[in-house]
Every structure is written in C-alpha cells, then in structure tokens.
Amino acid sequence: MALIALACYDTIENGRSHYTMRTLLSLKDTIDLERHRVVIVDNASCDATKRILETAKSWATVITNEVNVGTAKAINQAWALRKPKEHLIKMDNDVEFYFTDWVDDMEYAIETDKSIGILGLKRKDLMENPFRNDHWKTTLRMLPHNKGDRWIIVEDAEHIMGTCTMFNYRLIEKIGGMYQMDGLYGFDDTLACVRSKLAGFKNSFLPHIEIDHIDEGGNEYTDWKRKYAGQMMDKFNEVKRKFATGEQSIYIPI
C-alpha cells in the first residue's frame, strides 16, 4: 500500500505540460489503483496542465495551490493524507515507466529489508554504479531470501536521485517529510538521503525496473535549475552539517 505524490509546476515558459501528460498516462497504466493512491499537487500551473489534471481527477486526488509553494512543501501536502503503515512515494512529472506493478516491487523490497529507508528507481543517465572508486560507487546486494521467495537485488548508494523514490513508512516516522531550503527548488532529495542515513537506514536503488527521464533539457528552465543549484551549494552544505551535528532536527513535521 503506497501513496504516490507528484508535484507540478508547469508554465507557458517552461513548456512542461506535455511531460506531465506523458507521466500521468504512464503512471496510470503501470500501477494497481486499487492498492495504491495517487495525489497530484498543482503549484499554480498553466491552463494546459490544469486541463490535463482535470481529466486525472477520475483516478487521482488533485490539490491546487494558488501560488508555487515549492516542490518539497507540495509533496508534504500530499503526504499529509497518508494512512498508517502506508509507504510514501515522491516522483517527478517527467518520467515514463516500462515495468507494470513497479510500486508492488518497491514495496516488496522494503518489506523484505525493512532497513531500507529510501528506495529509488534508477535513471539511465546517473553516474552511480558498482565499478567506480569514488563518491558515486555503489554496492549490489541480494536481499534476504527464503525458499520460494523472489530473488531481489538492490544497489546501495549514498544519494538516490529523486525522480521516483519510495520512503519506508518506518523512516517517515523518524524523519517526517521533505525539507525545503530557502527558495522553491533544490536539494530536498539529497537532504532526505542524509537524514535517512542519520536515522539509521540504508538508501538503495531497485535497478531492474526500467524508467526514462523524459525531460530533454536544453531550455531556460533547466539552465535556471542548474545555475540555482550551484548558487545554493554553500547553503546545502551548511544545512547538511547542522543535521549531522544535531543543531537542526532531522525530523520535519508534515
């Protein structure tokens, strides 16, 4: 059982409405809507996206904000609707899935190894892999197995790219929701991984599930995100330090 949260900030300028459309179609076709819930938070998107979200209301809950409150705060709005022992998923609105019932596989992996706090689906453009000898090195690990069970391999890593990540409800009880730094965008996924480790959990990928990051980039919006992330790096390092030293609680109320 999982609650899947997706935040949209689509404008005429960033041209992301078609990504949202493709993501929602793929999402609807690959999950069991009788077991899992979808909550979409609209951060004051353009009319084109509002029309898309209107059609999604037959199978998803849509929350509409009058202004862009930021990704982390929008995800927390959706997560506030969680039920007891419901795993939480944070996903972007620019991803397509090529594996049916991928949510069930993520849930199975976490329930097989309850020490996994954050479990992500792995984009094809990521640097993390077991063959590196630096910060991006990962470790392949077979989960505990009893006769008759499925064989599941996960890839343990420091940072799990937040394109689509499941948060163990046990981790949520320890760290709460997403943390939003000054501004509206950036580093919420990385800081969640930091907080997960500090809470005593592992961060892992589930690499056998194929996904595609469909944002082609090369526009003003992606250039802005890259520039903004660079500007916020010092702030990120300071927040990370405060979490590690206990100066700032790792628990963020939802």
Q: Where are the domains of the chain?
A: 2-245
Quote the CA–CA distance of 23 and 17 in Å, as a whole number.
10
The pTM score is 0.95
133-152: b (≥16 Cβ within 10 Å) or e: eeeeebeeeebeeeeeeeeb
The mean pLDDT of 175-198, rounded to a whole number, is: 92
pLDDT per position as a tens digit, 114-133: 999 999 999 999 999 999 99
Q: What are the residues whose beta carbons fall under 8 Å from the beta carbon of 195, sequence distance 6 or more? A: 175, 179, 243, 250
Quote the CA–CA distance of 240 and 238 in Å, as a whole number.
5
DSSP per-residue string spanning 123-147: PTT---BTT--STTB-EEEEPP--T
pLDDT at 208: 97
The closest of 172, 227, 185, 167 to 72, measured between CA atoms, is 185
- What is the CATH number assigned to the segment(s) 2-245? 3.90.550.10
pLDDT at 222: 72
pLDDT at 226 over 90: no
Average pLDDT, the chain: 94
pLDDT at 227: 78
Quote the CA–CA distance of 231 and 221 in Å, as a whole number.
15
Q: Which one-letter DSSP state was computed for residue 122?
A: P
pLDDT per position as a tens digit, 7-66: 999 999 999 999 999 999 999 999 999 999 999 999 999 999 999 999 999 999 999 999
pLDDT at 184: 72
